[in-house]
């Protein structure tokens, strides 16, 4: 080190080192409420926007069903029965939870964005409009 206590990386232009604004995170109870599908107050809109549109949004969306499936997997793991059967059921629940999370991440991201007052990212399906004129 050269003894400088600068916040920039060595060799980086100081003009490019811009401090990022601090995003207010909701408390743990607010995050659990959000995880279960609830709406957060407008004070947390920056956090919600980053959660649903920032890097890693798809993984975060896929993790939600996995986390919601954990209590059920734990209950099935504790039920009496053969160990192999219980392990297969638990694995099925957790793998299907994460698979469903990846499969539906775009839909639920749009739903959550609209729920918090943001415009949807992906366009809605045109299938809903096709049958309107033909059904007389």
User: Quick one: 107 exposed, middle or buried, by C-beta within 10 A (0-12, 13-18, 19+)?
Assistant: middle
Predicted local distance difference test score (pLDDT) of residue 121: 82
Both tokens of 33, joined, read 């409420």
Give, as one character, the DSSP assignment of residue 67: H
Q: Which DSSP string corresponds to 68-114?
A: HHHHHHHHHHHSSS-HHHHHHHHHHHHHHHHHHHHHHHHHHHHHHHH
Range of weakest confidence among 14-28, 32-46, 117-131: 117-131
Predicted local distance difference test score (pLDDT) of residue 83: 94
Asked if residue 14 has pLDDT above 70, the reply is no
Both tokens of 37, joined, read 């599908």
Mean pLDDT in residue range 116-126: 74
Residue 96: pLDDT band (50, 70, 90) is: very high
Torsion of CA 43, 48, 49, 54, to 10 degrees: 140
């Amino acid at each position: 080190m050269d003894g400088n206590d600068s916040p920039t990386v060595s060799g980086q232009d100081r003009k490019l080192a811009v401090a990022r604004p601090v995003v207010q995170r909701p408390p743990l109870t607010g995050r659990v409420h959000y995880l279960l599908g609830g709406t957060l107050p407008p004070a947390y809109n920056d956090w919600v926007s980053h959660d649903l549109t920032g890097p890693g949004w798809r993984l975060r969306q896929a993790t939600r069903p996995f986390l919601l499936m954990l209590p059920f997997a734990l209950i099935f793991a504790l039920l009496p029965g053969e160990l192999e059967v219980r392990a297969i059921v638990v694995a099925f629940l957790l793998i299907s939870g994460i698979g469903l999370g990846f499969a539906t991440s775009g839909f639920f991201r749009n739903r959550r964005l609209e729920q918090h007052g943001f415009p949807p990212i992906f366009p809605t399906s045109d299938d809903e409009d096709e049958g309107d004129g033909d059904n007389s």
